[in-house]
Structure 1
Amino acid sequence: MAVRTRVTEMLGIEKPIIQAAMGWIARAQLSSAVSNAGGMGIIETSSGELDAVREEIKKMRTLTDKPFGVNVAQAFVRDPDIVQFIIDEGVRFVTTSAGDPQRYTGILKEAGLTVFHVVPSLSGALRAVEAGVDGLIVEGGEGGGFKNPKDVSSMVLIPQVCEAVDVPVVAAGGIMDGRTMAAALALGAEGVLMGTRILASTESPVHANWKDRIVEADATDTVFLNRSGPGPALRALRTERTSRLQETGSDNIFAEFADTQKVYFEGDLEAGIALTGQVAGRISDVRPVGEIFERTMAEFDEVRGRMSRLGEGTA
């Protein structure tokens, strides 16, 4: 059973699934697997390594002929010409995040790009719509990564935003399979974003130690850090280091990411912070992206069929 929404039509994708833009991780190896599986692969720029990003975009075009996009995490932008860089690379879809949607939306849309902005609140969603975005990625507090310190769960936030805006909404936070995708669409979303589930995939470049910890995790094995600042709050895998940070706080949360490469690619999870969502508690294996998506769509169809039969008196 096909799923056609404004998100799939607008982006030219087969499945209403977008991949999270994880710094250093969301590059051609992983993102091309997402695009080839029928979703929207995203290349990150939050690493600040634009020369490397340029090469990753070139690789994408050799690995897939399907649509893909680029993320601009505004809090991490080092190059003031990043928007022109994206335009020059011929990218057609951009997600913007971690900043004011007024900053880049206008110039991106003037260049003919489609722009979705990531928001953690209703007020953020309304501001993004006012800025002229084509769509929203609405991220509940369950999700991994940088968060609003005043977090709201997906079950509350997604319908709240969907009731208030006319642009298509992509649900993020707690999404990892067909039943959570069905729930998101029932709440009013027209697509979903997956982060932690795709992080724990065969094509993900991160060290097996991180993937294994996700598979072993319970839903309570993440921590919400830096709620009181300074800097952004975030959700991460529970380790000795992050448990300590949860208790003591940090004067500079960004400094805690100094050894990111050791965490991500050498598997030393105590060297920094491994951003991970609560949905790790529901992930029980590491599979290829294509298989994850196939299972997601099959389960979505099963749930949709079961719900349609409820009115007939059979579950």
Structure 2
Amino acid sequence: MKIKNRVTDMLGTEYPIVQAAMGWIARSPLSSAVSNAGAMGIIETSSGELDAIREEIIKMRDLTDKPFGVNVAQAFVRDPNIVDFIIDQGIKFVTTSAGDPVKYTSMLKSAGLTVFHVVPSLSGALRAVEAGVDGLIVEGAEGGGFKNPRDVSTMVLLPLVCSKVDIPVIAAGGILDGKTMAAAFALGAEGVLLGTRILSSAESPVHQNWKDAIVEAEETDTVFLNRMGPGPALRALRTERTSRLQKHPSDNIFAEFANVQDVYFGGDLEAGIALTGQVAGRINDIKPVAQIFDELVSEFHDVIGNLHENYGVSR
């Protein structure tokens, strides 16, 4: 069931699947489960806790012998030596996001790392290509987390970018199963990134209240906040708090994350903002990461095979 293409060749994984770099959440217990299941586990740095991240990378090497990477969310970088930090840890794959790809790409590439940059627009994609990245993660507005205020859906953005670039593209936003992976490939992607589906997995360290809220969510149960700024927009789980923020935006969206630990690990979803994608409306259960990927890849092959059988042209 392995899938071989440019993404798996670059990443050294069985599947062209990457885990989203969720702050405080994407650490060794979850990320090693992703890597061990054949995909690319990612360790976050957006928490800014580099001493803790160093320990998490050490733990990763005890928990898996499979490839894994690190994310640099540029808007949250506190240490100007972040690139040296990553190189010193022996990391070979990096995703960069939330900033200008020109800032770190050349330094990372000169050290021999593979770099994929997250982009929310065609202009961002073209700039990343000019900066010399190895690949793109094209992120539609369906996904959870920090977003471009000028939101574009994956269905529109992905084929647009793929029509303009030659480097490998990983699709993000709205992806959770084999059907959506097959759709992403039909639109030009060679890989997918999963966030909310992995956030709600059995190995995810977040509180059960958040996982239960995802399982119970309808397709309309996320909100798009801070469209007019200042600061980035974001997509989050609909709660009483986020519904208020939708109607009455905060003057400082980052201040809403002051009690992030209470939300993520304490289970108080009204204490702040629980970043969640629209696919929450399609998630009906909590499963181990390995089962999620096994079912996803099996369904991916079934969908592609059925499409060919039903609509393929005989030659």
Tell me the TM-score normalized by structure 1.
0.99
1:102 match: 102
Q: Which residue of 2 aligns with 1:139?
A: 139
Task: Report 1:155-170 matches (<5 A).
Answer: 155-170=155-170
Q: What's the secondary structure of 1:189's corresponding residue?
A: coil
Rounded to whole Å, the distance in 1 between the matches of 2:201 and 2:107 is: 35
C-alpha distance in 2, partners of 1:15/1:112? 22
CA distance in 2, matches of 1:227, 1:304: 37
Matches within 5 A, 1:86-125: 86-125=86-125
Deviation per residue, 1:23-74 (Å, 9 max, x gap): 0000000000000000000000000000000000000000000000000000
Q: Which amino acid aligns with 1:146?
A: F
Q: Who is 2:301 aligned against?
A: 301
Q: Report the equivalent of 1:263.
A: 263
Residues paired across the two proteins, number: 313
- Cα distance change of structure 1 residues 312 and 154 upon mapping to structure 2, 3 Å threshold: closer
Aligned match of 2:253:
253
Q: What is the distance in 2 between the residues matched to 1:4 and 1:304?
A: 15
**Counterpart residue number, 1:183:** 183
* Aligned position for 1:286: 286
Q: Which residue of structure 2 lines up, in the alignment, with residue 62 of structure 1?
A: 62
Q: Distance in 1 between matches of 2:308 and 2:21?
A: 34
Q: How high is the sequence identity, in percent, across the aligned residues?
A: 77
3-state SS of paired residue (2:8)? helix
In the TM superposition, residue 311 of structure 1 has moved relative to its aligned partner by 3.3
Read off the aligned partner of 2:289 and give its amino acid letter.
V
1: CA distance, partners of 2:279 / 2:264: 19
1:50 aligns with 2:45: no
Structure 1 residues 81 and 183: CA distance shift in structure 2, 3 A = same
Runs of 4+ in 1 over 2 A off after TM superposition: none
Tell me the secondary structure at the aligned position of residue 261 of structure 1.
helix
SS in 1 for 2:265: helix
Q: Find the counterpart in structure 1 of residue 222 from structure 2.
A: 222
1:5 Cα deviation after fit: 1.4
What is the DSSP-based 3-state SS (H/G/I as helix, E as strand, rest coil) of the residue aligned with 1:164? coil
Q: C-alpha displacement at 1:88, in angstroms?
A: 0.3
1:167-220 alpha-carbon deviations (Å, 9 max, x no partner)? 100000000000000000010000000000000000000000000000000110
Equivalent residue, structure 2, for 1:83: 83
Alpha-carbon separation, structure 2, partners of 1:104 and 1:265: 32
* Partner residue in 2 for 1:5: 5
- Could you tell me how far 1:4 is from its partner in structure 2? 1.2
Instruction: Report the Cα distance in structure 2 between the residues aligned to 1:92 and 1:169, rounded to whole angstroms.
Output: 18
SS in 1 for 2:100: coil
List alignment gaps of at least 5 residues for structure 2.
none
| Amino acid paired to 1:309 | E
Distance (whole Å) between structure 2 residues aligned to residue 303 and residue 52 of structure 1: 42
Q: Which amino acid aligns with 1:199?
A: L
In the alignment, the residues of structure 2 paired with residue 5 and residue 304 of structure 1 have an alpha-carbon distance, to the nearest angstrom, of: 16
C-alpha RMSD of the superposition? 0.8
State the AA in 2 paired with 1:176.
L
The 1-side partners of 2:270 and 2:134 are apart by 40
Distance 2:141 2:90 in 1: 33
Determine the structure 2 residue equivalent to 1:277. 277
- SS at the partner of 2:163? helix
Aligned to 2:174: 174
Aligned-residue offset at 1:2: 3.3
SS, match of residue 174 in structure 2: coil
3-state SS of 2:115 partner: strand
User: Post-superposition shift, 1:7?
Assistant: 0.4
Segments of structure 1 that go 5 or more residues without pairing to the other structure are none
Quote the offset at 1:312 in angstroms. 5.8
Q: What letter is aligned with 1:225?
A: L
One-letter code of the match for 2:143? G
The one-letter amino acid of 1:170's match is I
1:274 is displaced (CA, Å) by 0.1
Q: Distance in 1 between matches of 2:163 and 2:36?
A: 33
